[in-house]
Structure 1
Amino acid sequence: MKKAKFLTPVITVFNQDGTLDVKGNQKIYDNLIEAGIDGLVIMGSTGEFYAMSMEQRKELIDLVVQHVNHRVKVYIGTGCMTVEETVELSNYAIDQGADAVMIVSPYYFKLTNQSIEFYFDKVAEAVKGDIYLYNYPDRTQHDLSSEVTLNLLRRHKNIVGFKDTVSEMGHTRKLLQTVQKEFPDFEVFSGYEENFVHNVLSGGSGCIGGLSNLYPEVFAAWVRAVNDKDLDRAADIQKVVDKLSEIYEIGQPFIPIVKKAMKLKGMDVQEHSKAPLLPADEKQTESIKQLMNEVDGLILENSIIHPE
């Protein structure tokens, strides 16, 4: 079994005018690192990359790389709509000191396997560092299949990992079974928190899940439990995470919901999101409060943060 890891796809903190809140973002990075999260993924879907200009994305790269300063691994989401822009942003991130980039395929059009493979061939040939592929069929309208992934791995040594944001663990299991006999060190992460333990038991590396922005200490404890092979404790934390996952049902997209929850938890961060995402309304806020009370009760009941 591989050593389990949990990475946070970090929210991006904005000022009301849409500019970056520098100190707010730094607070988030410090909080996640101090809680024990294994690495930060900047400008994933949770980070609202799709609504940021090239200049603002580069500004955020500079901010996170300099502030984190190698305390944990930093991965940058650099997927753009064209090969040229993706390569430009990826190489900028690598040059600034990011540990790797994470690239989602172009969205809007449903692409064929041939088009997807062609796109990543061109990108991987030109990017000067390590690449994690990002599969999110609900957003791209196409699937980055295990067969295409294996073809790419055979040609590009700098493709080193994969985030599989699908709810069906069978999809991730097939990917692992397809690639890991030939590429045993290839890292595969699930995109939904509830699949974390199943992912690791199937030979994967863990999870990249947005709820760790809110309760990073819980997810760090989960990693320790799995790596210590303490399955009873891992099962207790699974109950907490299953309850916390109900937050996805409170509002769509869930990013403003998580920001409101972080504020309610006592974090001094702004809640603004890029348009057209709306802030949590009064009814949603009450639902968040109720859910967090239940989650906090489970954490206390199971001694998740400070075990006896």
Structure 2
Amino acid sequence: MKKAKFLTPVITAFNTDGSLDVRANKDVYDRLINSGIDGLVIMGSTGEFYAMSIEQRKELIDLVVTHVDKRAKVIIGTGCMTIEDTIELSNYAIDAGAENVIIVSPYYFSLTYESLEFYYGRISESVKGNIYLYNYPDRTGYDLSPEFTLNLLRKYNNIVGYKDTVSEMGHTRKLIQTVQGEFPEFEVFSGFDENFVHNILAGGSGCISALSNLYPEIFVKWVKAVNDKNMDRAAEIQNYVNKMSELYEISPCFIPILKKAMMIKGMHIKDYCKTPLLQADEKQSSAVEKFMEEVEHIIS
């Protein structure tokens, strides 16, 4: 069994005018690092990369690389709609001091595997650091299949990991089984919090999922329980996480809801997101407050 890891896909804190809230972002990074979380994924879906200009993404890269200063593993989301923009942003991150990027493939059209191989092939040949694949078929319209992934790994040695944002654990298990014989060090992370233990038991590396923004200390304890093979404790925390996952049900888009919960928890951030995402309304805010009371009760 691999050593378990839990990485946080970090929220991006914004001011009301859409600019980066520099102080708030630094505070979020420090809180996660000080909690002992295994790494930070910047500008994943939770980080609202899709609504940020290339210039703002570069600004955030400079901020996180400088502030974190190698105190934790950092993976930068650099996927763009074109090969050229993805290469430019990826190498900007690497040149700034990041060692790892995570790349979601283009969305809107359902691409063929020939197109995807061309996309990731050109990028892998041109990017000067480690690459993680980001599979999110509900948003891209297609799947980076286990067989496709294995073919890429045989060609490009800088592809080192994969985030599988698929709720069906059978998909992730098949991916792990397909690649681990030839590439035992390849990291496969689940994208849903509640699948963490299932991932590890299937031979994966852990999880990259959003609730650790809110309760990083719980997820650090979960990692320790799994690595210590304390399955009773792991099962106890699984129950906590199952309850926490109800946060995702408050709104079809969870990011403003997560930010509201973090504010209630005491984080000095705003629940402003890049448009068209709206702040939590009165009904949603009440639901978040009730959720937080219930979670605090069960974990206390």
TM, length-normalised to structure 2: 0.99
Shift of residue 210 of structure 1?
Answer: 0.6
Shift of residue 294 of structure 1?
Answer: 1.4
What residue in structure 2 maps to residue 40 of structure 1?
40
Structure 2 counterparts to residues 125-136 of structure 1, below 5 A: 125-136=125-136
Shift of residue 99 of structure 1?
Answer: 2.2
Q: Distance in 2 between matches of 1:93 and 1:245?
A: 32
Shift of residue 118 of structure 1?
Answer: 1.5
Q: Gaps spanning 5+ residues in structure 1: where?
A: 301-308
Structure 2 counterparts to residues 30-179 of structure 1, below 5 A: 30-179=30-179
Q: Distance in 2 between matches of 1:273 and 1:290?
A: 22
Shift of residue 270 of structure 1?
Answer: 1.4
**SS of 2:234 mapped into structure 1:** helix
Q: Distance in 1 between matches of 2:229 and 2:289?
A: 33
Q: Distance in 2 between matches of 1:227 and 1:95?
A: 34
Structure 2 counterparts to residues 1-308 of structure 1, below 5 A: 1-300=1-300
Shift of residue 31 of structure 1?
Answer: 0.5
**SS of 2:182 mapped into structure 1:** coil
Equivalent residues of 2:165, 2:190 under 8 A apart:
yes
Q: For each residue in 1:204-235, what CA deviation from the matched residue of structure 2 results, as whole angstroms up to 9, or x when unmatched?
A: 00000011101111111100110011000000
Q: Distance in 1 between matches of 2:232 and 2:141?
A: 38
Shift of residue 73 of structure 1?
Answer: 0.5
Shift of residue 116 of structure 1?
Answer: 1.2
Q: Distance in 2 between matches of 1:30 and 1:124?
A: 31
Shift of residue 2 of structure 1?
Answer: 0.4
Percent of paired sites with the same residue: 70
**SS of 1:269 mapped into structure 2:** coil
**SS of 2:7 mapped into structure 1:** strand
The aligned length equals: 300
What residue in structure 2 maps to residue 304 of structure 1?
none
Q: Distance in 2 between matches of 1:213 and 1:61?
A: 19
Q: Distance in 1 between matches of 2:257 and 2:36?
A: 23
Q: Distance in 1 between matches of 2:230 and 2:117?
A: 40
Equivalent residues of 2:271, 2:280 under 8 A apart:
no
How large is the RMSD of aligned CA atoms in angstroms?
A: 0.6
Q: Distance in 2 between matches of 1:92 and 1:181?
A: 33
**SS of 1:172 mapped into structure 2:** helix
